[in-house]
Structure 1
């Protein structure tokens, strides 16, 4: 239940707070006073599109705050997205900046506007004049019938239909691209087979290039190594040409004799000994290197051939062997994906066949529920219409077969006739404004009967009617308010008289800016307001007498 609604800088409303209670609440006021701002404010809590034009001129933002009494179920949902409910009271807020940016808050937690709309929509509904237009729409007519029928299979059907549509789309894409996938798979297999036949190793191209260069430069390498060895070991044919080994040996002997005489030279002797040993080892290693430099034409030919095979791969699949191997890895993964597409096609076909079967069964059950509900709802609405001074009106939900769609396999049309002998025809084509208004109210009263604890807002539901019909509208809203909170914006005194609480929206002007405010009426003030609404003087004896009589007839005397 809505306990308070506060508007700040919202349209013509500067700042106003509406304290609400259970039962039926009436909002009245002169044309242009801002009654619709109340409904519009609630609409913003129900996710209405943000519009910078709603912000009062000169204000940085418009704010709508609603306070609600909610149960444990709603409180649990609020806590799921970080909000709080304090002693059963939930605060919701919608803010629209002068630049058109929107912000929503539920229980102190910022949330998307869609989350606010979904949550508040569970315990509040607005029936405005736009609903009268929507009533002529086949989709809205189907929604109304389903509200009464409540087919258990509908939610599952909608989920299955959405899944089938997605599966059919994926299947169509896979089938249309089958030839392209086959060509791509053949190209990948050829490349992977070619690489597998060569079987390259990581870094093999660099290693073979170095080995080939060595084999091709063998004579020059031998000459350079021999010169280095002669420098180290000396020339065996020239005993006077002593190499590094001989010279360091001589130095070691001299340092040894020196250290025998002077202990301070001992460290130098150790270093000379180390140098002589290193020179000898280096000379031996160079000699071994020279021994390994053996010409091997067969190995050179093998290396050249292997490099040529690798070059075939690096021209197609990567600049280096490592890049070729990376291409092979990604190609193998892509080939597995392509090969899996065919199995996916079979999976999708089987899934679609299964969904078609369940959809057909659920659609039949939904149709049966709609056919049963169509008669029940039409009969209940006919009773309401008779009480609204339309005793001969007939309303019929025509449910006919159609192709499977998002909401079943039915085409639903609301047919109407106001007079006996008239063949029912589409509601939007044959109903007048007043008739359409009463049909809408009758439907809403019948469908809302089960909404115990719900908040219903009716905006100008009495448009196009008056007199005795207005009294019946008031009685039906009063009956609905026995189990639900009902807020009605009305221009009919006959409707307002039935309210448990009556608020008037008044406007004032300072000559430049018009503002609106809301105030609760006392019993005597209610009589004056009803007299004004009936076109009389609010302070005339006859007008007040008529108003008091109206309140008495409504049980509010």
Structure 2
């Protein structure tokens, strides 16, 4: 609910503070007094698009502050939370314009963007009239309005969930088809590569082992002859025989040398022992480095095959076994893809059937609600002097989506036999306002604490029709808040709170102000609206009669 409005240096308003109340609030005044300016100022605070030259001439900056009461669960609270703005039972919107045209918005004293301000405003205020492009005249919102009238939240949630499930099933199928198509393009490569890897069957660490063996075999070929000659030189036909002969000769004469040969004999014995160990070591080396040309050829052939295959697939030789497993798995996926696709296509078909059923149930609630809404409008239009008009809720097929398969549009025809058309194009200014009032009455109950503003809804009507408009506005305001800018005394008399917009002259020029009227002042104002400039006692009597009715 809009509780207060503080305007400073905007348009022809120098300073104005207003307090509004629940129920029907009427704003009246002479033509040109500034009633539309008051709405312009409120629209400025709410971030609505409007006139550019809103700053009062000569002022350094202009400012509008709008204060709202928020009930628990009010939709504005969710917007505030999403934007990270402080929230409470009181909401203060403030917007400033500088002389240079810069506009700054604050929400609860926290600076914010114009987009966030407008999103908050959409939950707070509805403006109904010829320029109601944000409300009932916007065809994009008609389906949501009909759904609120139908009370089909459960069916809508079922459709959203079915659409989500269908989207997931379709995505899984699309992903699988793309994978299989990609695999199919490389099927020939996969089969050849898997066959090649299976035939070679490389093992982890095998490349290093083959490389080491190859180096040993190559070394054996290079040093084998020298090792054989060294072995011969150390053996019986080499150094061993003369050393053994020398030892035998010395031992034969040692007993006659009086110990002079003992040291030599011991040294030769040790030398022969070491020579024997050396000969055995050389023999073992010769055995381990024995050159086998056939083995070298086999080792090199397999080593080069492993390295070539690794280069071909741009992997390390030790990664070839893992690569073989991966390629075999991809080939297996390709071969089993047909079975998987069949299961996924069945899942999509089941999800489509579930969505169709949920969408049909939602569509049924909409069609039933459309008939009820048309019947309700048919009852509301005649008292508003629209007895020749016809209202129709048109439901047409639309692309399936999370909100179902229907498009909704409110259409009217204003004369018998005339083809129906969009409400915003068919109805004239006065008719349009009354259509909107009737529609709002029929849809009432989905407003969630919104303040409704009707701008000159009584244009072009009077008498019983104006009285019908006033009664319906008062009914609409029960339990909520409605602001109406009116020239009709019958409408103003139905208000719970009455404000008069006045234009005043001062040394600083023309300014507009708003005055909350007392009961006596209300009589005079409604009498003026009845009689014109000259207010008579008869007019006051008629005004009292209207107020008492």
Question: TM-score normalised to the size of structure 2?
Answer: 0.67
- RMSD of aligned residue pairs (Cα, Å): 5.5
Structure 1 residues 80 and 427: alpha-carbon distance in aligned structure 2, compared to 1, 3 A threshold: closer
1:344-359 map, 5 Å? 345-359=341-355
- 2:257 aligns to what? none
Q: Partners in 2 of 1:100 and 1:283 — Cα distance?
A: 104
The CA deviation at 1:69 is 3.1
Structure exhibiting the larger radius of gyration computed from Cα positions: 2
1:67-146 map, 5 Å? 67-71=68-72, 86=88, 89-91=89-91, 93=93, 117=119, 125-127=126-128, 129-131=130-132, 139-146=140-147
1:350-499 map, 5 Å? 350-399=346-395, 407-408=403-404, 414-419=410-415, 421-422=416-417, 425-428=420-423, 430-448=426-444, 450-451=445-446, 454-460=449-455, 462=457, 464-468=459-463, 469-490=465-486, 492=488, 494-499=490-495
Deviation track 1:332-351 (CA, whole Å, cap 9, x = no partner) reads 67667767865664344223
Q: Partners in 1 of 2:296 and 2:398 — Cα distance?
A: 81
Structure 1 residues 23 and 409: alpha-carbon distance in aligned structure 2, compared to 1, 3 A threshold: same
The CA deviation at 1:457 is 1.8
Is structure 2 residue 166 aligned with structure 1 residue 164? yes
Is structure 2 residue 8 aligned with structure 1 residue 23? no
Give 3-state SS (helix, strand or coil) of 1:391's partner. Answer: coil
Structure 1 residues 414 and 111: alpha-carbon distance in aligned structure 2, compared to 1, 3 A threshold: closer
Q: Partners in 1 of 2:335 and 2:502 — Cα distance?
A: 74
Q: Partners in 1 of 2:506 and 2:36 — Cα distance?
A: 16
Tell me if structure 2 keeps the 8 A contact 1:33–1:507: no
Give 3-state SS (helix, strand or coil) of 1:24's partner. Answer: strand
Tell me if structure 2 keeps the 8 A contact 1:456–1:486: yes
- 1:314 aligns to what? 310
Q: Partners in 2 of 1:214 and 1:515 — Cα distance?
A: 110
Tell me if structure 2 keeps the 8 A contact 1:128–1:461: yes
Deviation track 1:1-23 (CA, whole Å, cap 9, x = no partner) reads 34345678988888866533311
The CA deviation at 1:310 is 0.8
Alignment: residue pair count: 494
- 1:3 aligns to what? 3
Correspondent of 2:45 among 41, 44, 61 = 41
Tell me if structure 1 keeps the 8 A contact 2:527–2:542: no
Tell me if structure 1 keeps the 8 A contact 2:492–2:498: yes
Is structure 2 residue 217 aligned with structure 1 residue 215? yes
The CA deviation at 1:386 is 1.9
Q: Partners in 2 of 1:336 and 1:4 — Cα distance?
A: 73
Q: Partners in 1 of 2:203 and 2:507 — Cα distance?
A: 91
Q: Partners in 2 of 1:10 and 1:192 — Cα distance?
A: 80
Give 3-state SS (helix, strand or coil) of 2:381's partner. Answer: helix
Q: Which runs of 5+ in 1 are unaligned?
A: 230-235, 239-280
- 2:148 aligns to what? 147
- 2:253 aligns to what? none
1:154-233 map, 5 Å? 154-161=156-163, 163-164=165-166, 167-168=169-170, 171=173, 175=177, 178-202=180-204, 204-218=206-220, 220=222
Q: Partners in 1 of 2:184 and 2:328 — Cα distance?
A: 14
Correspondent of 2:517 among 511, 519, 522 = 522
Q: Partners in 2 of 1:77 and 1:477 — Cα distance?
A: 29
Structure 1 residues 430 and 455: alpha-carbon distance in aligned structure 2, compared to 1, 3 A threshold: closer
Deviation track 1:126-182 (CA, whole Å, cap 9, x = no partner) reads 445444797566655444433322334233224424553564476467557754442
Question: TM-score normalised to the size of structure 1?
Answer: 0.66
The CA deviation at 1:318 is 0.9
Correspondent of 2:292 among 288, 291, 296 = 296
Deviation track 1:442-478 (CA, whole Å, cap 9, x = no partner) reads 0012211x25862232242617434233443222111
Q: Partners in 1 of 2:539 and 2:492 — Cα distance?
A: 14
Tell me if structure 1 keeps the 8 A contact 2:5–2:17: yes
Q: Partners in 2 of 1:341 and 1:52 — Cα distance?
A: 63
Structure 1 residues 79 and 435: alpha-carbon distance in aligned structure 2, compared to 1, 3 A threshold: closer
Q: Partners in 2 of 1:134 and 1:504 — Cα distance?
A: 27
